[in-house]
A and B are shown apart, each in its own frame.
Chain A
Amino acid sequence: MIAAYLILLLSFGGIVYFALMGHKEEIGRHNVWFNGIALFLSLWLAIEVFNSGTLLSSSQYFIVDSFNVYLIVLTAFVGLTTAIFSDPYMDHEKQLGKLTDSRLKLYYSMYQGFMFAMYLVLTTNNMGILWVAMEAATLATVLLVSLYRTPESVEAAWKYFILCGVGIAQALFGTILLYYAAMQIGDTENSLMWSVLFDNAERLSPDILEIAFVFMLVGYGTKIGLVPLHNWLPDAHSEGPTPMSAVLSGLLLNDALYAVVRNKMLVDGATGSNIAGLQMMGFGLLSFLVAAFFLHRQKDIKRLFSYSSIEHMGMMTFAFGIGTPFATFAALLHMTVHSLTKSAIFVTVGHAAQIAGTQRIEKIRGLIRTQPKVGWGLLIGTLAIAGFPPFGVFTSEFLVLLATMESYPWLTPLLLLGIGIACAGLFRNIQPMVYGDRPDGQQAIKANLWPVMIHLTIVLWLGLAIPNALADWFTQATILISGSAPL
């Protein structure tokens, strides 16, 4: 448990450290160190959970179990690799004159602020604090989206602020209803503690929880980017700095989904049916299909991949909604591989946009001829995210399909259709960018592609064979979420 406190302290200290530190050349490298230590601590925490099961702090305010511990490790890992990427990237942006020193300071300080909010979302046991941390994550990132202060980025940040703020207010109403239901069975002091609620789930009023869940799903669903609440997402992704897109897609969306699943576990216990899951399935499937179609009409490379994020989040929401152990296992795996692949893609997209000097798809050409590493990275990343074997996304999508065939066979064609449309949408845009003639005067830039290679190697590895330890972990999380082992 100490490791969890240390992670929170470290990232909180990071906010203050970067805000106070005068500008130094190595500010980006310090950020890497902060995130590196966090990764080390998260692994320590994971080992602790692995050895002794669920950890609950003595004050009951923090809980680390098999479900959130792997998300903590994932958060720390993506946080670290994105920090490694953002060091040269932000320096390059500064050289282009897009940023000043004080903005850079703001960027690093809020980067840590975002990480702090994410760790708090994942470790807290209190449903109210969970909401507060989720809102804090919006507040931390909203200034980053408008970092460049162009009219477009200000507009995107404003939309993001308003839509997510209002959306997530609905989740607070849901949380209040949850608290109300908990108060009817007594014990006011710890009534919002997830572990207490989970233990007494059968005694909670099913009527109240059903209504509460609708508000939670709409509220946190705004953050997940579920259609029709997704409008902020492509704007915020395309106008903000690229490292922010990587962590937003790789981490924030996951953690919002995590909040929904935690609540679903309570509702399932209270109602004894899968009514919450059906809502998630509907919402998820709609997002999945709509986003797949939208992939075809994008003109901005970062908007393209943000729609791909909506598509994948839709599929995960759908899979968690099915609720069978098998589907839950698939969803957990999909969460992991999607985070890794998507953050790797945004890293390469950032470099590609810097090479071409624009984010317009029609102006980015001949990447392989200019800088082969970036071109291949983008191509392989896209192959992985589109669900080609032998990458991990293929495995998890395949498992989701199998789980759907098991429970709702008539929905499988829709899923297959969506995957096909999305794949076509990605490749018709990617192909000319990667191949094609190199425009005159296009230069290679200083790029750090280690994060991309590491991420894609892990995704490939997960597609070929899931290590035993990780499979055990997912199995335990599945038992926790859906009551029994997947196989």
Chain B
Amino acid sequence: MDFNLTQEQSQFADALRRWVEKDYNFEQRKHIIASDAGVSPSAWTALAELGALALPIPEAQGGFSGTAIDMLVIMQELGRGLVIEPYFATVLAAEFLKLAGQHDHLLEQVASGELQMAAALNEKQARHELFNIATSASQNADGFVINGVKTVVLHGAQAGQLIVSARSSGAQRDSDGISLFVLDANAAGISRREYRSIDGYRAADITFNQVQLPSSALLVTQGAGWPLLEAGCDYGVTLLCAEAIGVMEAIFAATLDYLKTRQQFGVPIGKFQVLQHRMAEMFMELEQARSMATLAAVKLSSEDAEERRRTVSAAKARIGQAARYIGQQAVQLHGGMGVTNELPAAHMFKRLTMIELSLGDTDHHLARFIAQPGFKAAA
């Protein structure tokens, strides 16, 4: 048993951290958020040069074949630095290609940093249900025609290529009949409406109006996309869990520092036991969350899909609980400053809150954990 990072992993983390400290600090980030683009091309170049984009891509496509544990390290650092670039969106979308074993040229472009991607999976009525899909995919002589609307697609407007879930057959909430496609985000019939998210990201609603795709756009057998959709999103959840650990570490450190420096009644407020015990609770939440993020990363590649689903959902549920507690308490302990937009801690709180609501919230994943046959079979 070994919980240590490898030397390569530590070096990767250090390099990312140094880059964040130098070129992606709080002020620089603020400018990026306020800019028209909402993302930073130079930051993207830096991420590519650091190897962060090549890391998850298979060696055969010019990557480093990084594991989920390697990605845990990256996402923690990006979380700590509150990096709002289309990294998560791109890596998540690329995972679908990787799992499908198709479109190697796109993976090569991701590895080299030429291509940004996004996964257009959400729909307005779906809430957290990935299988709840009204967007249709009908087959014709030239391939497939897509119609529908995807909502809150993270970095959907920046992406050059999109992964899209659509329905080939069945009722709106059936897990059978789902197809997955990869397509050019500028294809005829696609319109994208971009907006800011409350945690500083960019997102888009994307309308597909008679979008004609070639047959090669289909990722797995028509109508049989559900296992791929679930597996890809479990990868995404694992990345978000890791990111949340980084954000929680940062907000915890900022709060601890504040407790040691902020004076009231002639002493640092960290001398008050009621605040000390709150910090002790936050510490325990963070450590329990860290354990689950690690477990999820290890079990992600489990050959037993139920084991993967069960662990990933357990992690998301546990980390969601920790993120909410730590975020809210950090704001409370910062007092009036905590509710301003001026401190990094406030932005960390917003990011943690949005992570909890992304790719299934705590209740969603608790229900998914319970729904796995093993929950009752173990009894």
Does A associate with B in a complex?
A: no
- B contacts, CB < 8 Å to A: none
A interface list, Cβ under 8 A from B: none
